A and B are shown apart, each in its own frame.
Chain A
Amino acid sequence: MPGKLKVKIVAGRHLPVMDRASDLTDAFVEVKFGNTTFKTDVYPKSLNPQWNSEWFKFEVDDEELQDEPLQITVLDHDTYSANDAIGKVYIDIDPLLYSEAATVISGWFPIYDTIHGIRGEINVVVKVDLFNDLNRFRQSSCGVKFFCTTSIPKCYRAVIIHGFVEELVVNEDPEYQWIDRIRTPRASNEARQRLISLMSGELQRKIGLKVLEMRGNAVVGYLQCFDLEGESGLVVRAIGTACTLDKLSNTSAFLPACNSPSKEMKEIPFNEDPNPNTYSSGPSTPLKNQTYSFSPSKSYSRQSSSSDTDLSLTPKTAPSPQGPRIFLFPSSPTLSCDSPHLKKSCLLLSGSSIKPLHSSHVSPVVLRKSVSFTEELLLAASGMGSGSAGKEGGPFKTLLRQQTQSALEQRGGSPHRFCRRREFPFFTLTTFPPGFLVHVGGVVSARSVKLLDRIHNPAFVGIMGNTRSYKLLDWNSFNSDEPETRDAWWAEIRQEIKSHAKALGCHAVVGYSESTSICEEVCILSASGTAAVLNPRFLQDGTMEGCLEQRLSWQPGFFSIGSEKGEVDFFPQSQDSSSLLGIEEASPPGCGFCHIPYDELNMPFPAHLTYCYNCRKQKVPDVLFTTIDLPVEAIVVGKGCLIQARLCRLKKKAQAEANATSISNLLPFMEYEVHTQLMNKLKLRGMNALFGLRIQITVGENMLMGLASATGVYLAALPTPGGIQIAGKTPNDGTYEQHISHMQKKINDTIAKNKELYEINPPELPEEIIGSPIPEPRQRSRLLRSQSESSDEVTELDLSHGKKDAFVLEIDDTDAMEDVHSLLTDVPPPSGFYSCNTEIMPGINNWTPEIQMFTAVRVSRLSNINPTNQTLNKNFNDLCENLLKSLYFKLRSMVPCCLCHVNFTVALPEDELVQIAVTAVAITYDKNQALQANKAPTEKSQQRASTDNEEQLQFPLELCSDPLSAQPFSPAKEVLEGASSHSGIPAAQRDRCNSWIELIKLKAQTIRRGSIKTTTSLEKASPLAEGYLRHRSVPSCTNSTVSVVKMTPLSFLPGAKITKYLGIINMFFIRETTSLREEGGVSGFLHAFIAEVFAMVRAHVAALGGNAVVSYIMKQCVFMENPNKNQAQCLINVSGDAVIFVRESELEMLPVQPSTAAPQPTSSAGDVTT
């Protein structure tokens, strides 16, 4: 349906001189949208023309509005020859298409030319009048909001999180069309830019349609990527998480908006779904029992205050290790039900599958060899499933299909309708509302190698050959096979991911992402995520009743299973009251997500389990790897740090299938080594968990590179990691022994130093408090023989386990020696610096508003004549380390600061070239405030929060009903008890706030004031507090707003509150030069280009009325040069969310009203606006 796009060209400034004779320019402007073009008058002889044009009006349908960019071209009028183009501006008008975002785009845009860069600026005003479209069969999806942010955007709350959406579109790359030989580079570049802009628009529209179909209204965690496949085409693909979001009229104070969903859920009128009885529970019950994914909620059941004392005591009195073990894993029966598939997929958890052949062709080779060791070794230590389940052909697939009908999907009720969407219970989010994440299983990843030259569809070539049309819409319909192929590739990978998640006892994958690496005709597709069990409450798209009904229906079965747990597990259920009162589960006690979701007796991989160090009730693995951000509620000891594993592997140059095969063969080894490195480095820092893990495997002509980045932390719930022990192979040699012991000493010293550096001093829990069967102290203390502690004597002696122990480094040859050396080469950041690749740095909470986002790119030449894996590894390692060092040096003026969201991207553009691009943000923090003022209040309020949560829950409500969740709420309590007994807060004080509301108010106020001194002095190292403190609290910031546009890869701005999201920024630029030397060589060229990209992003945001870009990411930076021809070309793709933020210091002017006035700020429907 139609919309009217209106454009006005106001003026230009700083135009380049186009007429040498007069040193002036006769400029005019062409405004193009779709196939319509308007022109302004020529403004003669000026470098600062004032066109002040009329309103150019385009009447178009909204499908076109979504797909097409507005194209503004500035030209120099020439009477005698052709008019010269000065440059262009592409404006994505998408933000104008939904009501809550921007209403007008108005401002100065850099005029960009792909050959000359920015050449002056132009002032443009753009408006859209959109008519309401009630057509059900429309092809447009105007109104669906897109967010790059991988959490629920700050001024919204999630009503429902629907789940995974994906789409891809394919086209021929203009750069590789025949016409490219006869047209200018400029024309080629512009054709490409325009095409990609079109494709992005189309992709977004199509995803929007899927979201509407799911009855959602937004896509969060939207990640769009380009695959430049060269000859075989250009793929634009995107994934995201469909949600129904509600705008918060009044994001109550500084409580993170994402808190609210959990509390507000129940009040939402579910007008969206007309179909409440989709949750007919009857028939699906048996199935549910089969699928453990249904046991999502080992979540925290509410306890009445009367019983919670008992609960917290329970573990202490538990007499034997056996008791808890039994009742803590009530899910085992469920698991065993479908163990056939489970076992199968477990077995198949492996490095990677190879599909060197066209996928339509027979079943691909399965890497059986690698399977055997990969799963044992790497899964053992890390709790990671990686690689892919090999294809076993028909039967297995069928089983998978069946599994697909997991609880989640079932609940959809009508499988036909929701089947497609339910296929992959994936979430691109990395941060969740509290209570959403119940358990985390570990990282799951899958890779597959594909050959690109086989994808050509004859029809595709034929048609394209004749028409040469760039407009994909024209031919797409004729070539539906083409995108199907790619879809199939990805579907395969996703299927694998899903089966891995199942093997880990999880029904969902969170922090999910996909990527490719392309070299010539070989392409590695990768996907990874974190297997997790989610609280179903956030997922349903039906009415609450439906959900409740269903829950009730589950209960009988589970109750019987869980009955061994005894009284504790049976608490009266009164869902209704709780739901009406709007009191949801309190946030999990900070350790719940660590508890294993899989069955101990039937573990998908060997791992050392131990009782949670926090609650002592559930089992936890000895290490936890995840791709998500650290949950807000997690209890962390000390600070986190960036951990990277870096790896090079030489590969013979080969063609096509041989090449694909050799890559496939290498992949599992690489994954294994990457994991070993990560594990060793983690141990070396005395930490036990990785967050934000991202493993990138890049393929080049003659080598593969692996780069894994993650943020290491010490989770209080997991056992203290052991050290690293070095074992020599030839024990007879005396000097050798000496050498070994010397190395051992160095390693031990490093560990000790790191512990100090990252302030890792987990409190020793006295036995009485622990009260549960934990390993003997002897075992727990760090012995030279490092060992995850949980293990009982038996496992420790078990030889096969011993071999798998990643922490014993056997030095059997020089390679191993090198490895050990390289372990020790990682230099910690200079004092005053911390770094992480997650959103927030664990252990630092008092950010100051100063931020500096940056992009650094390095291309280095490997000039070894006879490179070996070792030398390459060293070179690569040095390259990364030097780059980091260089960043620390550059940003030294910001100390103390933390580099957050450090994102490395590796590419192998040519034979011997390695390109590393880093985007990150440096945020300063206040050292002093951290330790004193800020800490105490937050800590205190947090403690109160938890305490009161419990006390407030006077109804024994917990509907979360699921007996698996039988884990009583006490863990938090216990910790609190522990913490408070340390800190000596009088009980009375904790009791003072007797309602949760008050507590929230208190919290809000405390956080707002940021630096209130409180009378309570708490022990500084209380792990609980540490954990909560990470949540950013606010030092009062003094800077008044300047008319600058801030950019950050994070989803928030320290010391500021985002008040409005203006729309997604998704821009693609090409820059080319034929005078590379004159422009300062490759560095000068790229430096200027990156600066230009920043400038254009800022200009677009400013024109939307925004003052910041959050969740900024540079998704692609493809750089090519031809020094002999003095030429270079670079493609950059960036995206982010344009926002308006307000400094919190300014907000403080506002009354505290929002949180105090509303009786229950988080639950009142008054907060909801639409």
Chain B
Amino acid sequence: MSGDTEDTGETLGTRGDIWGHCGDIWGHRAAPAAGMSSDLDVFVGNTTLIDEEVYRLWLDGHSVAEAVARRLRGGVLEREGTSVAVLQSDTRDHYRTFQMLERLLHVPPRLLQQLLFQIPPERQALLVQRYYAFDEALARELLGKKLSKGTKKELDEVSARTGVGIRSCRRQFDNFKRVFKAVEELRGPLAENIQQLFLLPPPLARDYAAIVFFANSRFETGKRRLQFLSFADFAACAQSMMGHWSQGALAPEAAEPDGDLPKSFLQDLKELKVLVTDKDLLDQHKSLVCSALRGKISVYNELEASFKALSRALVNVGGKLTHARDVRDFFVDLVEKVIEPCRSDKWSPGDLRLFLTHYTAAPRNLPGFRHQALWERYMAAITACLLRMYHD
């Protein structure tokens, strides 16, 4: 019917890309075949029509032609008894709408206030939620990376690795970056800030909080030995860390953003080193833990053998958090020095849990150890992280 044959467009990048591309399609080439070609074809409803299927295709970064092809494969034609031309026209209408909506989706509260599109609230929520939903594989790749132009340039590889379309990658990357920028300077709990600014459902807001937290602290997550950890693992860890360590956890009206771990707390962690540097304390700690666990865990012998190494690793991880470079290695250290040894000794997750519980509780009975509160606050997050990460 029209010159859609040209719409092979593999890449629709930015807005400019799409329109430039579509400009070709909708331009003024006379169609070769006799008949009519539609130069202009729009449908505007007083209530904006949102087709969820097309929205998904658009979010996935498909061009109009690809989207039409996919819809065809979905069997719309048979169901509705319509023609390809109609499908194309419909898809374009939706794409145009989404294109216009995209500007507003970048600032979701504006979507609620704007007058241009009349969209029922539940539809608006759906639009926002879908727009900010992300592929975990992609997020996993980007965790801890700086959300910069450089990273954006690497998205091609990421796209290839994850199988997520490049345009979708870019959109998701931009979402991360936008959220990051918006909450970077804000005080108070990260997840709540995100939820408020972007009107996301709480679980999604928490995931974004984790992404921001990782991007902010730049934790290394790309190492090979960390590959077994999923995005969900890291997100859980981030939540535990923010939950237990950040100032918001202690005083909600705290002055620093949740994304940054409070400096004073990190400084204080150095005090805990006494647990491993003081030989007496180390020995007493070990005996307390061992006596509590004797007969209760299957790997008692291994525990006895490796206690000091484990304890040293656990305490030192915290001690290093004051230095940015060492912060990066937090997860590497945990895996390398705690998880891997335990795994090679065939600890069960239950064993690890028991051990960590008693390991955390024991210093209470250590004479001369005054940092019990600090220790428990520190170990709460560490325990949560380790338990989450202890799998294959």
Binding site for B on A (CB under 8 A): 13-14, 108, 110, 118, 121, 830, 852-865, 871, 875, 878-879, 882, 885-890, 892, 913-915, 1042, 1044-1047, 1077-1084, 1086-1088, 1090-1092, 1094-1095, 1098-1099, 1119, 1123
Task: Give the distance to chain B from A353, nearest Cβ to Cβ, in Å.
Answer: 33
- B250 lies within 8 A of chain A by Cβ: no
CA–CA, A879 and B40, complex, Å: 12
Q: Are A885 and B34 in contact (CB under 8 A)?
A: no
**Cβ contacts under 8 Å, A885 to chain B:** 82-83, 86
**Cβ contacts under 8 Å, B160 to chain A:** none
Q: In the complex, which residues 1-55 of chain B have their Cβ closer than 8 Å to any Cβ of chain A?
A: 1, 16, 19-20, 22-23, 26-28, 30-31, 34-49
Q: Are A1081 and B36 in contact (CB under 8 A)?
A: no
Q: Are B35 and A875 in contact (CB under 8 A)?
A: yes
Task: Give the distance to chain A from B72, nearest Cβ to Cβ, in Å.
Answer: 13
Q: List 28 A-B contacts (CB under 8 A).
A: A110-B116, A118-B116, A121-B115, A830-B80, A853-B46, A854-B46, A856-B43, A856-B44, A857-B40, A857-B42, A858-B40, A859-B40, A863-B30, A875-B36, A882-B1, A885-B83, A888-B82, A889-B80, A915-B40, A1044-B118, A1045-B118, A1080-B26, A1081-B22, A1082-B40, A1084-B96, A1086-B40, A1091-B100, A1095-B115
CA–CA, A1094 and B31, complex, Å: 33
Q: Could you say which of A121, A863, A1081 contacts B31, with CB atoms under 8 Å apart?
A: A863
**Cβ contacts under 8 Å, A1082 to chain B:** 26, 39-40
**Cβ contacts under 8 Å, B37 to chain A:** 860-861, 863
> Chain B residue with minimal CB distance to A872?
B36
Q: Are A854 and B44 in contact (CB under 8 A)?
A: yes
Q: Are A1090 and B42 in contact (CB under 8 A)?
A: yes
**Cβ contacts under 8 Å, A1095 to chain B:** 115-118
CA–CA, A885 and B38, complex, Å: 15
- Those 3 A-B pairs whose CB atoms lie nearest each other, nearest first: A859-B40, A1081-B26, A860-B36
**Cβ contacts under 8 Å, A859 to chain B:** 38-41
**Cβ contacts under 8 Å, B230 to chain A:** none
**Cβ contacts under 8 Å, A871 to chain B:** 34
- B81 lies within 8 A of chain A by Cβ: yes
**Cβ contacts under 8 Å, B114 to chain A:** 14
**Cβ contacts under 8 Å, B90 to chain A:** 886, 889-890
> Chain B residue with minimal CB distance to A107?
B115
Q: Are B36 and A1119 in contact (CB under 8 A)?
A: no
**Cβ contacts under 8 Å, B82 to chain A:** 830, 885, 888-889
Q: Are A913 and B39 in contact (CB under 8 A)?
A: yes
Q: Are A1087 and B42 in contact (CB under 8 A)?
A: yes
Known contacts A857-B42, A885-B82; A1077/B23 CB under 8 A: yes
CA–CA, A110 and B114, complex, Å: 9
Q: Could you say which of B42, B45, B100 contacts A1086, with CB atoms under 8 Å apart?
A: B42
Known contacts A882-B83, A1042-B120, A1091-B117; A1083/B44 CB under 8 A: no
Q: Are A1083 and B36 in contact (CB under 8 A)?
A: no
CA–CA, A1088 and B99, complex, Å: 10
- B92 lies within 8 A of chain A by Cβ: yes
Known contacts A863-B34, A878-B35; A1091/B22 CB under 8 A: no
Q: Are B46 and A1047 in contact (CB under 8 A)?
A: yes
Q: Are B22 and A1080 in contact (CB under 8 A)?
A: yes
> Chain A residue with minimal CB distance to B36?
A860
Over the window 304-331 of chain B, the binary record of Cβ atoms lying under 8 Å from chain A Cβ atoms (1 yes, 0 no) is 0000000000000000000000000000
Specify which of B30, B48, B96 lies most central, judged by the most chain A CB atoms within 10 Å of its CB: B96
> Chain A residue with minimal CB distance to B107?
A14
Q: Could you say which of B31, B80, B121 contacts A892, with CB atoms under 8 Å apart?
A: B80
Specify which of A875, A1084, A1090 lies most central, judged by the most chain B CB atoms within 10 Å of its CB: A1084
Over the window 69-88 of chain B, the binary record of Cβ atoms lying under 8 Å from chain A Cβ atoms (1 yes, 0 no) is 00000000000111101110
- B260 lies within 8 A of chain A by Cβ: no
- B110 lies within 8 A of chain A by Cβ: yes
Known contacts A858-B40, A889-B80, A1042-B120; A1094/B46 CB under 8 A: yes
> Chain B residue with minimal CB distance to A922?
B45
- B195 lies within 8 A of chain A by Cβ: no
- B93 lies within 8 A of chain A by Cβ: yes
- B89 lies within 8 A of chain A by Cβ: yes
Specify which of A13, A110, A885, A888 lies most central, judged by the most chain B CB atoms within 10 Å of its CB: A885
Known contacts A864-B35, A879-B36, A1083-B92; A1090/B26 CB under 8 A: no
Q: Are B38 and A860 in contact (CB under 8 A)?
A: yes
Q: Are A13 and B113 in contact (CB under 8 A)?
A: yes
> Chain A residue with minimal CB distance to B34?
A864
Task: Give the distance to chain B from A1124, nearest Cβ to Cβ, in Å.
Answer: 9
Q: Are A878 and B36 in contact (CB under 8 A)?
A: yes
Task: Give the distance to chain B from A832, nearest Cβ to Cβ, in Å.
Answer: 10
Contacts A860-B37, A886-B43, A889-B86 supplied; 4 other A-B pairs, CB < 8 Å: A857-B41, A858-B38, A864-B34, A1123-B28
CA–CA, A1080 and B116, complex, Å: 17
Q: Are B40 and A1119 in contact (CB under 8 A)?
A: yes
CA–CA, A882 and B90, complex, Å: 12
Task: Give the distance to chain B from A1072, nearest Cβ to Cβ, in Å.
Answer: 16
Q: Are B36 and A1087 in contact (CB under 8 A)?
A: no
Task: Give the distance to chain B from A947, nearest Cβ to Cβ, in Å.
Answer: 42
Q: Are B20 and A1077 in contact (CB under 8 A)?
A: yes
**Cβ contacts under 8 Å, A1092 to chain B:** 116
Q: Are B96 and A1083 in contact (CB under 8 A)?
A: yes
CA–CA, A879 and B20, complex, Å: 27
Known contacts A14-B114, A1083-B96; A854/B83 CB under 8 A: no
**Cβ contacts under 8 Å, A858 to chain B:** 38, 40-42
**Cβ contacts under 8 Å, B45 to chain A:** 852-854
Q: In the complex, which residues 327-356 of chain B have their Cβ closer than 8 Å to any Cβ of chain A?
A: none
Q: In the complex, which residues 89-131 of chain B have their Cβ closer than 8 Å to any Cβ of chain A?
A: 89-90, 92-93, 96-97, 99-100, 110, 113-118, 120-121
**Cβ contacts under 8 Å, A1083 to chain B:** 26, 40-42, 92, 96
CA–CA, A1047 and B121, complex, Å: 18
**Cβ contacts under 8 Å, B34 to chain A:** 863-865, 871
> Chain A residue with minimal CB distance to B104?
A14
**Cβ contacts under 8 Å, B116 to chain A:** 110, 118, 1091-1092, 1095
CA–CA, A1095 and B46, complex, Å: 8
Specify which of B30, B37, B47, B116 lies most central, judged by the most chain A CB atoms within 10 Å of its CB: B116
Q: Are B41 and A1088 in contact (CB under 8 A)?
A: no
Task: Give the distance to chain A from B31, nearest Cβ to Cβ, in Å.
Answer: 6
> Chain A residue with minimal CB distance to B85?
A882
CA–CA, A1123 and B27, complex, Å: 8
**Cβ contacts under 8 Å, A864 to chain B:** 34-35
CA–CA, A1092 and B114, complex, Å: 11
CA–CA, A1082 and B19, complex, Å: 11
Q: Are B115 and A1099 in contact (CB under 8 A)?
A: yes
CA–CA, A933 and B28, complex, Å: 55
Known contacts A857-B42, A861-B30, A889-B90; A1094/B118 CB under 8 A: yes
CA–CA, A827 and B185, complex, Å: 61
CA–CA, A1088 and B93, complex, Å: 11
> Chain A residue with minimal CB distance to B37?
A861
CA–CA, A1094 and B110, complex, Å: 18
Q: Are B115 and A1098 in contact (CB under 8 A)?
A: yes
Q: Are B22 and A14 in contact (CB under 8 A)?
A: no
> Chain B residue with minimal CB distance to A1042?
B120
Q: Are A863 and B40 in contact (CB under 8 A)?
A: no
CA–CA, A1079 and B100, complex, Å: 10
> Chain B residue with minimal CB distance to A915?
B40
Q: Are B118 and A1080 in contact (CB under 8 A)?
A: no
Task: Give the distance to chain A from B155, nearest Cβ to Cβ, in Å.
Answer: 25
CA–CA, A118 and B117, complex, Å: 12
Q: Could you say which of A882, A888, A1047, A1087 contacts B93, with CB atoms under 8 Å apart?
A: A1087
Task: Give the distance to chain B from A405, nearest Cβ to Cβ, in Å.
Answer: 48
Known contacts A857-B40, A859-B38, A1091-B117; A886/B80 CB under 8 A: no
**Cβ contacts under 8 Å, A1042 to chain B:** 120-121
**Cβ contacts under 8 Å, B35 to chain A:** 863-864, 875, 878
Task: Give the distance to chain A from B38, nearest Cβ to Cβ, in Å.
Answer: 5
